[in-house]
Amino acid sequence: MRSVRLGRTGEQVSQLALGAMLMGTSTDEATSVGMLERYLEAGGTFIDTADCYAWWPGPGLTGGESEELLGRWLAKSGKRDEIFLATKGSAWVRDAEAIRSGDGSYETMAAQWVGAGGDTLRQAIDGSLRRLGTDHVDLYYVHVDDRSTPLEETLEALAEIVAAGKARYIGWSNVRTWRLERIRALAEKNGWPAPVAVQQQHSYLRPKAGLDSLSNVESIVDDEQVDYLRANDDLTLVAYSPILKGIYDDPAKREGHPIMSLYAGPDADARLAALTEVAAELDVTPNQLVISWLLHQTDPELITLMGPRTPEQLETALAASDIKLTEDQLDRLDNAGA
């Protein structure tokens, strides 16, 4: 598995990162441990989680389950020094049951987030470290951009976390480009650590024009953000949901799937047609081809974050890293669209 640099930190991390979101809940402990070991065996080094993972798979879950499982695995395996470990704060929910029994709206969920206040983050990192059984994480993200808290308060708290050795680097997730620029300017002005990674939803399909809902566009990489990342190579994109819930492999699944409301249209139709054609040439699945396409990107170079629920899904993603695309195939994929 190829490694790439993380911003200008000097760190090299695996280009294919492993998301542990469902480990300890939808994926049982034994299966999760097997997947973690398989990922390391394949050359992976970058493991991603969050303090709120995962309250949503069922009753009685509150968040922290993924970090706790990773903590048990690290304690038993002794492999903490072999991985680059990332976690996130600010999206812990105050009352998970209220969301599960609510109307399912973004607003209902967002009302339960604890946010990125200074004291909240200081307490959150301590909780994460306790569950993970480690004295530091390598990368600590603000999970959801909190516009109700002054950025100065959030950044100062993150600077304290880094100064205390509890996190080596910071990142931001689900954030718009203009906010990233403000975050970076404040960090430079005050001598605080700036984000080295931005974790956003990013895939082969492009978001359709006119999206204006916070829940729709807050986490999706658009053309403006790609341009921003090209101009600022000290900030690395970590692309989550690369296969968009697996819709690329299944035309029937795409019909009526909520995630397609962000992409559906002539541009998506043209890109899906190109994807299907190239996948058939290579005898791979469209999902695999999307991961391979992301791994081939160099302008900007990025990290692809997979979140498999089963060992079979993990193997499918790992196999994608061996797919070699010709210049012609890349050109056809890149230039497809309406």
Q: What is the pLDDT of residue 212?
A: 66
Q: Do the beta carbons of residue 82 and residue 114 sit within 8 Å?
A: no
Q: What is the pLDDT of residue 281?
A: 98
Taken in order of first residue, the domains within the chain and their CATH numbers are: 3-247+287-324 (3.20.20.100)
Task: Report the sign of the C-alpha dihedral through residues 296, 297, 303, 306, in that order.
Answer: negative
Q: What is the pLDDT of residue 213?
A: 52
* pTM listed for this prediction: 0.96
Q: Do the beta carbons of residue 307 and residue 22 sit within 8 Å?
A: yes
As a whole number, mean pLDDT of residues 6-33 equals 98
Q: Do the beta carbons of residue 153 and residue 117 sit within 8 Å?
A: yes
The pLDDT tens digits of the residues spanning 152-201 come to 999 999 999 999 999 999 999 999 999 999 999 999 999 999 999 999 99
Residue 107 has pLDDT above 90, yes or no: no
% of the chain surpassing 70 pLDDT: 98
Residue 219 has pLDDT above 80, yes or no: no
DSSP annotation of 166 reads: S
> Tokens at residue 31, please?
């299966």
The pLDDT tens digits of the residues spanning 223-275 come to 999 999 999 999 999 999 999 999 999 999 999 899 999 999 999 999 999 99
DSSP annotation of 14 reads: E
Q: What is the pLDDT of residue 105?
A: 85
Residue 115 pLDDT class (50, 70, 90 cuts): very high
Q: What is the pLDDT of residue 104?
A: 81
- Please state the φ and ψ torsions of residue 260, each to the nearest 5 degrees: -70, -15
Give the three-class secondary structure for 80: helix
The pLDDT tens digits of the residues spanning 92-106 come to 999 999 999 988 888
The pLDDT tens digits of the residues spanning 262-320 come to 999 999 999 999 999 999 999 999 999 999 999 999 999 999 999 999 999 999 999 99
> Tokens at residue 38, please?
């398989």
Q: What is the pLDDT of residue 256?
A: 86
% of the chain surpassing 90 pLDDT: 93
Q: What is the pLDDT of residue 209?
A: 80
For 304-328, give one letter per residue: b (16+ CB within 10 A) or e: bbbbbbeeebbebbbebbebebeee
Q: What is the pLDDT of residue 218?
A: 57
Which carries the bigger pLDDT value, residue 90 or residue 217? 90
Residue 216 pLDDT class (50, 70, 90 cuts): very low
How far apart are the C-alpha atoms of 216 and 230, rounded to whole Å? 23
